[in-house]
Amino acid sequence: MIVDELLGLVGERRSQLEDLTLSRVCVSLCYTAVMLDNGYVGLCHTPTEDIAHTHWGRRRDFHGFKALEITRLANSLDMIEKTVGITTLNALSQYLMDSEGYERQFGMDAFDAIDVRREDSVAVVGYIRPIVGKLRAKAREVHVFERNPQLRGDALPDTFVDSILPKADVVVISGSSLVNGTLDRLLELSKRARFVVFAGPTASTLPEPLFKRGVSVVAGVHAKGPKVVDAVAEAKPFVAFKELVEKYILKNENSLKG
């Protein structure tokens, strides 16, 4: 499982990470944000459609706890705990990518990197509207899938992916699939695709498990500071705080297929 491999990767860097704690945690309507005590911020889609709107007295606390301890919640069956765990993984990932010199190309987003051709059949899992509009202008056909009924619009429910993804030439998968637990299966269904992109704020994680599974490009964001957490706390959508983050892409040259 991708989440388990991400946990393994941060565990291998325990000596670098073991003293880091969570200084701020915000679970909001659109996104969840975690700020570490070294100032690094992680972002993650809040899967409101999968969260029971009831109070769980046994849910644990987050503030002030060791970041590595909280990352283990990425496998929790409580969706709020799981979301905070993955957000913390993303915060640690950003710190590690900076400190270890990962070759990110800043100022580029997912569409800048997609190899899409006029004859292509494209599948987009997660209604990333700006990308979908551009893809529809370039490809032969674009199938869009969305899990959340409130965001679905003209997209199909994600229960239809089994019949489309194995036939697609290009697949774009939203980072939200990491938190709702569907990413491993989506990548398995996309093995035939020439080009696979994992994109969005929730995709801002270490890329190795994704590249291992044939992802061509990971397109994430690097938060510039604590103002991002304030924006998340106000339930702002990404378009309202995009100036507070830097978009980047990571390319997996070995995955490109002719």
Tally of structural domains, the chain: 2
| Amino acid making up residue 41 | V
Give residue for tokens 């706890």.
Answer: 65
Please name the residues in contact with 143: beta carbons below 8 A apart, sequence gap of 6 or more.
121, 122, 123, 124, 156, 164, 168
Q: For residue 36, give both structure tokens.
A: 């570490």
Domain holding 15: CATH number?
3.30.390.100
Q: How far apart are CA 222 and CA 216, in angstroms?
A: 19
pTM, entire model: 0.93
Neighbours of 236 (CB within 10 A): 18
pLDDT digits (tens, 9 = 90+) for 54-109: 555 566 789 889 999 999 999 999 999 999 999 999 999 999 999 999 999 999 98
173 or 113: whose pLDDT is higher?
173
**Mean pLDDT, residues 141-149:** 92
Give yes or no: residues 18 and 39 share one domain. yes
Final residue of a domain: which of 62, 84, 99?
99
Would you give the end-to-end CA distance of the chain in angstroms? 28
The distance from CA 256 to its chain's CA centroid, rounded to whole angstroms, is: 21
Residue 228 in domain? no
Which of 134-143, 213-222, 228-237, 249-258 bottoms out in mean pLDDT, i.e. has the lowest?
249-258
- Out of 43, 64, 99, pick the residue that ends a domain: 99
Domain presence at residue 182: yes
Structural domain that includes position 139: 105-222+246-255
Instruction: Please say which residue of 59, 76, 99 terminates a domain.
Output: 99
- Please compute the mean of the pLDDT values over residues 37-43 and round it to a whole number: 97
In the chain, the amino acid numbered 249 is I
Whether 237 maps to a domain, the answer reads no
Higher pLDDT, 255 or 224: 224
In angstroms, rounded to a whole number, what is the distance separating the alpha carbons of residues 221 and 42?
9
Token pair of 40 as six digits: 């690094």
Evaluate whether residue 230 is within a structural domain: no
Q: With helix as H, strand as E and coil as C, how does 132-181 read?
A: HHHHHCCCCEEEEEECCHHHHCCCEEHHHHHHHHHHCCEEEEECHHHHCC
Amino acid 249: pLDDT: 96
Residue of 126, 93, 125, 130 whose CA lies nearest to 110: 130
**How far is 101 from 105, CA to CA, in rounded Å?**
12
* Domain match, 75 and 24 both: yes
